[in-house]
Structure 1
Amino acid sequence: MNRPAPAGPLPTLVPLVLLALLGLTAATGCSSTPDPALAPAAPPAASAPTLTADATPTDAAWAQLMTPMNEKAVALLTLAADRATTPPLRAFATRLRSAQEAELGRLRPLLARMGLPDTDVHAGHDMPGMVTEKDLAAARAAEGAAFDRLFLTQLRDHLRHSAQVSRSEITAGARTDAKELAAALVTAREAALTELARLPGAARALG
């Protein structure tokens, strides 16, 4: 994988770097060619955040994706902790919500150490594994087995894609603290996917 060139204002660069980081192909439902529409217009140079010297655009892209991914997943998990149809599924959602909130407690300080704002630079982008506002609205409207299916499908996608991105950070990132957190996230995602597959009714719900 070619290393992203550290040129240009970061808000414009990050979505493009992220596409390279993800290694998105047609197999994931996205073109491997970056879509110019994903890159927002660059703000004035004076307002562009400046990466610290030991952070690369890959580190920034990972942290700026994982933070909103976790935030949206926590919102979905909060719904499931209350509305899933079985006690094991509600308990799983509650545990995973706590774990992902704890990860946010490490991701947000990491952004600050890299000189980046705690804002969602991917708002409005259809990123793989990201729970969207449309997804949350559908979850709020669903009931019973339909809610369980929607929750499990979205959560599985979130866990798989966030693990994929984190593995790329381990390989291509530069900051030790970011790579260590990415490794912890991969371990957590793999454990969660294993637990999810063993939940009563999960196999039937996921097809």
Structure 2
Amino acid sequence: MTTTELPHAPEGVADLTADPGRTGRPLRVVLLAVIAVGLVLLGGGLAVALGIGRTDPPDADSVAAGFARDMSRHHLQGVEMANMVAERSEDPEIRQIAFDISATQTNQAGRMQGWLALWGVPQSGGETMAWMAEGGEHGHDMAVDGGLMPGMATEEELANLRDLRGTAFDVEFLRLMIRHHQGGFDMAEYAVEHAGVPAVRDLAQAIARAQSAETRTMATLLTARGGTPLPAP
């Protein structure tokens, strides 16, 4: 059987089809490369390139900074799962949506980490999801399973996914990614309403729209392959 190849990334865009679980290359290396391109610019030029203009940096515990920090980490796991597809699935529809997710979320995560660098806000640390604390049921209760953010897969779930191939992989990939998107959607919706930086609200809105559309597509693909969704986060 001939394996369907993922489309090549456009010129100038990092190849996102490598499987970090196989190569051992941390996904953070990819993100650092994305950020490094922006950091060659200086001062206001960097701010413009990252889409935030010349604005006062938000506090580390603000919604804008917390969203950028946590959503970039959330995206990293989405990219990790999407990058497993190239060597574990022969389904062209699964391979295409995985490529799209990987490309989009790598770009967005690099942008958010670029903001944090420009603001002088640490890219790690702090209490996970504390920026949503004022949202009642959308606050600290969303950080579960040892600090995992809503929708994120556990290490056991990721290990199981790496061991699967073919249709079994496709079904589990869709189940995990649908839940992942649902959790990310709630985070993005909150940032749309509460982030104090316009560029952060705009990106959060774009994330919410994209993940809502992708979730509908993946739900259709899952049903067609005889799978059922995992419980919503």
**How high is the TM-score relative to the length of structure 1?**
0.66
Deviations 1:6-25 (A, max 9, x none): xxxxxxxxxxxxxxxxxxxx
**Structure 2 unaligned spans of 5+:** 1-55, 129-144
1:103 aligns with 2:108: yes
1:66 aligns with 2:74: no
- 2:172 aligned partner: 150
Of 117, 133, 140 in structure 1, the residue corresponding to residue 122 of structure 2 is 117
- 1:163 aligned partner: 185
Tell me how far apart the structure 2 counterparts of residues 116 and 204 of structure 1 sit (CA, whole Å): 45
Quick check: 1:74–1:100 contact (8 Å CA) kept in 2?
yes
Deviations 1:5-47 (A, max 9, x none): xxxxxxxxxxxxxxxxxxxxxxxxxxxxxxxxxxxxxxxxxxx
The residue type paired with residue 163 of structure 1 is: F
* Matched positions, count: 156
- 1:191 aligned partner: 213
Structure with the larger RCO, 1 or 2 (CA within 8 Å, 6+ apart): 1
SS at match of 1:103: helix
The residue type paired with residue 165 of structure 2 is: E
CA RMSD of aligned residues (A): 2.4
Tell me how far apart the structure 2 counterparts of residues 53 and 105 of structure 1 sit (CA, whole Å): 18
Of 73, 92, 96 in structure 1, the residue corresponding to residue 97 of structure 2 is 92
Deviation, structure 1 residue 64: 1.5
Quick check: 1:68–1:120 contact (8 Å CA) kept in 2?
no
1:177 aligns with 2:199: yes
Tell me how far apart the structure 1 counterparts of residues 178 and 210 of structure 2 sit (CA, whole Å): 13
Quick check: 1:166–1:185 contact (8 Å CA) kept in 2?
yes
Tell me how far apart the structure 1 counterparts of residues 224 and 125 of structure 2 sit (CA, whole Å): 31
SS at match of 1:205: coil
The residue type paired with residue 57 of structure 1 is: S
Quick check: 1:83–1:90 contact (8 Å CA) kept in 2?
no
Quick check: 2:161–2:173 contact (8 Å CA) kept in 1?
yes
Quick check: 2:78–2:101 contact (8 Å CA) kept in 1?
no
Of 144, 150, 155 in structure 2, the residue corresponding to residue 133 of structure 1 is 155
Q: Aligned residues: percent identity?
A: 26
Tell me how far apart the structure 2 counterparts of residues 67 and 108 of structure 1 sit (CA, whole Å): 7
Deviation, structure 1 residue 65: 1.2
Deviation, structure 1 residue 198: 3.2
Quick check: 1:152–1:206 contact (8 Å CA) kept in 2?
no
SS at match of 1:93: helix
